Amino acid sequence: MMATDQGSTRKEFRSTARLKSVMAQHFHELDRAAQEGSPKIAWCTSVGPAELLRAMGFLVYFPENHGAVLGASRKAMEYIPLANALGYSPEICSYLTSDVGAYLKGETPLSRSYGLKSVPRPDVLVYNTNQCRDVQDWFHFYGREFGVPVMGITSPRGVEEVTEAHIEDVARQMKALVPALERISGNSLDMDRLREVVALSRRCSDLWKEVLETASHVPSPWTFFDHTIHMGPAVVARGTREAVDYYEELLEELKERIENGVAAVEGERHRLYWEGMPIWGKLRDLSTLFQRLRSSIVASTYCNSWIFTDFDPDDPFRSMAKAYTNIFICHAEGWKEDYIERMVRQFQIDGIIFHDARTCPNNSNTRYGMPQRLEKRLGIPCLVIHGDLNDLRCYSEEQAVTNIEAFVEQLEER
């Protein structure tokens, strides 16, 4: 979630220094806690109940963030076969297989970046299946390895609209985690603290939304490739003051860019939407390619996934349940198409690129006719690229570049 190997053609942000310090603080705190045995550490899925865990005094570690870093470092292909050898198929989530493989090999890119000897040992693992089932199996692997409890929330998927019944169900499951979490953390749940954390998460989410929306300006002051770097705090530090302060600073810088007419892509000619997972190991090359083609990827489903406008500190459990069930990935095709249509209008999009990620059917919206329906409905072209989030053996660069160039040519002709 924080790719750091971007190309030189990208315009760097001043706030990147602050970003690095927020991320470093996150990992150093976890490392210290792992060594001292306090505070307790909870591993959490990326759209899991992080607010509850934080409010109960846990430090929260996100294995998916680690998965993304493994992808960006292009080391994933070394690790995936080790997980395959244990019976974790090459067809399942390559975050899971690269993360498990790196663990088996006793390596982590956090050593080089932050000086950690290993990922911080969990005291408990808490998942939410709102995004997929893979996270549940991933966490159970580590539950067995470390001999610590694994617990979670089973969420509805493919919903047309989130109903009261869904919210009740998920809120009840979240509340049911509390007694066990109290035993593990040694702290009882303080509702005022929970309200405070939910308020901070809401503020972080509102700011993340606002910074992303600056890309609706023509020309856009930043692109998807910047977003994938700057989303780090929204993922790993939501619910903290540091994340809020960080996005306030970034927002100022983006406003400055707009005032000064700074374009992320010089001579921006086309504005694109990215649907699906990032191809972590190829962000630099893709960023350079789109710069060359004078095309700005101004919005994406992926980076929007950490906008949770339903958080309400006055009603923490129900609003967390609603926020985490109302995410894009939980919805049915029709809802998703309406959502993308709103994005296309808001960001003045000329074309959509769908990434069909081999090992993540959950975040690949290409397999049931959506690109074809959207082309017809919105009157703009869609391109499907075949690849993967981490496993670059599923990605043919030559073919992708040829297809993207042809796609942009098609946009030129329009």
Burial of residue 381 (CB within 10 Å: 0-12, 13-18, 19+) is middle
Q: Which sign does the torsion angle of CA 231, 233, 239, 245 carry?
A: negative
- Please state the closest distance from residue 355 (CB atom) to ligand SF4, in A: 11
Dist. CA 268–CA 260, nearest whole Å? 15
- Token match 């009603």: residue? 315
Minimum CB distance to ligand SF4 smaller for 339 or for 401: 339
**Contact residues: ligand SF4, CB under 6 A:** 64, 93, 95, 131-132, 134-135, 277, 360, 362-363, 389
Minimum CB distance to ligand SF4 smaller for 93 or for 343: 93
Dist. CA 320–CA 329, nearest whole Å? 16
Minimum CB distance to ligand SF4 smaller for 110 or for 277: 277
Sheet architecture: strand order including 41-44: 59-61, 41-44, 124-128, 150-153
Minimum CB distance to ligand SF4 smaller for 343 or for 357: 357
- Terminal CA-to-CA distance of the chain, rounded, Å? 35
- Token match 């959207």: residue? 374
- Please state the closest distance from residue 332 (CB atom) to ligand SF4, in A: 17
**Contact yes or no for 352/384 (Cβ under 8 A):** no
Strand segments, DSSP code E, in 130-281 are 150-153, 270-275
Dist. CA 74–CA 86, nearest whole Å? 21
DSSP bridge pairs for 331: 159
Minimum CB distance to ligand SF4 smaller for 159 or for 262: 159
Minimum CB distance to ligand SF4 smaller for 47 or for 400: 47
- Please state the closest distance from residue 91 (CB atom) to ligand SF4, in A: 11
> Cβ atoms within 10 A of the Cβ of 357, count?
26
Give yes or no for a cis peptide into 316 (omega within 30° of 0). Answer: no
Minimum CB distance to ligand SF4 smaller for 215 or for 329: 329
- Please state the closest distance from residue 330 (CB atom) to ligand SF4, in A: 11
- Please state the closest distance from residue 67 (CB atom) to ligand SF4, in A: 7
- Please state the closest distance from residue 3 (CB atom) to ligand SF4, in A: 15
- Please state the closest distance from residue 363 (CB atom) to ligand SF4, in A: 5
Minimum CB distance to ligand SF4 smaller for 94 or for 223: 94
Helices 397-413 + 283-292 axis angle, to 10: 30
- Please state the closest distance from residue 265 (CB atom) to ligand SF4, in A: 27
Query: Which one, of 59, 276, 311, lies nearest residue 205 by Cα?
Result: 311
Query: Which one, of 342, 351, 349, 413, lies nearest residue 381 by Cα?
Result: 351
